[in-house]
Amino acid sequence: MTGLKGIIGCVLVALLTACGADKPAAMTDNGWQQYRSQFVSTDGAVLDTGNKNISHSEGQGYAMMMAVAWGDEAGFHTLWQWTRSHLQVRDDYLFAWSWTPQEGVQDKNNATDGDLLIAWALYQAGRAWGNDEYTALARNIVADIRRLLVKTVGNNTVLLPGAEGFSSDDLTQINLAYWVYPALEDIATATADPLWRELIASGKRLTHQVSQGSWALPPDWVDLPAGKEPVMAANRPPRFGYEAVRIPLYLVWSGDYDESVVSNSARFWETTSKTGVMPAWVDLQNGSRAEYPAPAGFRAVWELTEKALGKNTTGGVAMISADLNGQDYYSASLTLLSRMAMQERFSR
């Protein structure tokens, strides 16, 4: 009977992953313990230490993913319970994008990358610990992402950054860093819905179309005017910076990408770091750069891209494996996400 039950179990999860064959090994360093002690409250709120300690759906999703990667089932449960009770307050299965201890939720609009990360974490938790409830919860979130946030604009299938405020008859604004490619790949497999593959392909195509400047990099935000070509968002700084840094991270993590976007970002970081300052952003119109350095987490993403390209100009994986002390929430998040991607893509 044990063998039969094992076969049945594999069949039940076949749409999500091959039975154990492709499951990444659990992380074994102390990165999650450090992150949890520095940025997660005892009741499960992830604190953005660089932004008045507010909590975001994005941060909850990051931490839930980390808890699964490091095998912390109890920690995952605490994170999910806080997220569910404090952020899942809309009339659908999506999450309010932010919460503060002083005011709670003031804006019920969602942030789609947070929704994707939370759903992906629930899918992975369901697989890791055989919890059908987590899987069912993930499906509900994914269904509402599809219903409310996936839109056809011209020849593109796009992901709205939020349910409200980003789309009109004349203009749609998107953030290509919200395409969390490994999550979308997982969802595409789990649902067998071709729309998710269309969304993945559109995201990669749009990234190529809008990459520009002397480094051929994608901007943080993009406008899609009705009937016209995509352009950098008119109402935001024309930068490759704190948002778009996640594009090469998610591309490498997915394992399926054209090397150009990854290699262009790696070339930018390598070249500028030789001047003594790896800048936090570059203006894609005039080439000006931030006068302050990028946080450590950016370097971790760079090291991941160098690994993907078979290079080693960053000095190894020193920052990916670095201690998190001294890093703020976002930098530490990028560091651990890069570490997780490195483990999943290159340590099998």
Q: Residue 159 carries which DSSP code?
A: E
pLDDT of 15 higher than 60: no
Lowest mean pLDDT among 211-225, 273-287, 305-319: 305-319
Is residue 18 one of the residues assigned to a domain?
Answer: no
Which pLDDT value is given to residue 313? 73
Question: How far is 31 from 293, CA to CA, in rounded Å?
Answer: 23
Which pLDDT value is given to residue 17? 39
Plot region of 165 (φ>0 → left; ψ -120 to 50 → alpha; else → beta): left
Question: How far is 123 from 318, CA to CA, in rounded Å?
Answer: 31
**Confidence bin at 257 (pLDDT 50/70/90):** confident
Is residue 5 one of the residues assigned to a domain?
Answer: no
**Confidence bin at 317 (pLDDT 50/70/90):** low
Is residue 1 one of the residues assigned to a domain?
Answer: no
pLDDT of 18 higher than 70: no
Determine the average pLDDT of the residues in 294-317. Answer: 87
pLDDT of 34 higher than 90: yes
Q: What is the CATH number of the domain that holds 148?
A: 1.50.10.10
What are 224's strand-pairing partners? 172
Which pLDDT value is given to residue 311? 86
Which pLDDT value is given to residue 318? 72
Which pLDDT value is given to residue 319? 79
Is residue 14 one of the residues assigned to a domain?
Answer: no
Determine the average pLDDT of the residues in 307-316. Answer: 79
Determine the average pLDDT of the residues in 201-211. Answer: 97
**Confidence bin at 294 (pLDDT 50/70/90):** very high
Query: Residue ranges of the alpha helices (H) in the chain?
Result: 2-12, 31-39, 57-69, 73-87, 112-129, 132-149, 181-191, 194-210, 246-254, 259-273, 296-308, 329-346
Which pLDDT value is given to residue 12? 36
Determine the average pLDDT of the residues in 153-180. Answer: 97
Which pLDDT value is given to residue 3? 41
What the block records as the tokens of 246 is 């996640």
Determine the average pLDDT of the residues in 244-251. Answer: 98
Give the angle 79-82-88 at the CA atoms, nearest 5°. Answer: 115
Is residue 13 one of the residues assigned to a domain?
Answer: no
Question: Buried b vs exposed e over 152-167: b needs ≥16 C-beta within 10 Å?
Answer: ebeebbbbbbbbeebb
Which residues are tagged catalytic? 58, 113
pLDDT of 16 higher than 70: no
Mean pLDDT for the chain overall: 91
Contact indicator for 66, 32 with CB cutoff of 8 Å: yes
Give the angle 51-55-58 at the CA atoms, nearest 5°. Answer: 100
Give me the number of domains the chain comprises. 1
Question: How far is 108 from 88, CA to CA, in rounded Å?
Answer: 9
**Confidence bin at 26 (pLDDT 50/70/90):** confident
Is residue 60 one of the residues assigned to a domain?
Answer: yes
pLDDT of 213 higher than 80: yes
Q: Which domain holds residue 128?
A: 24-346
Is residue 10 one of the residues assigned to a domain?
Answer: no
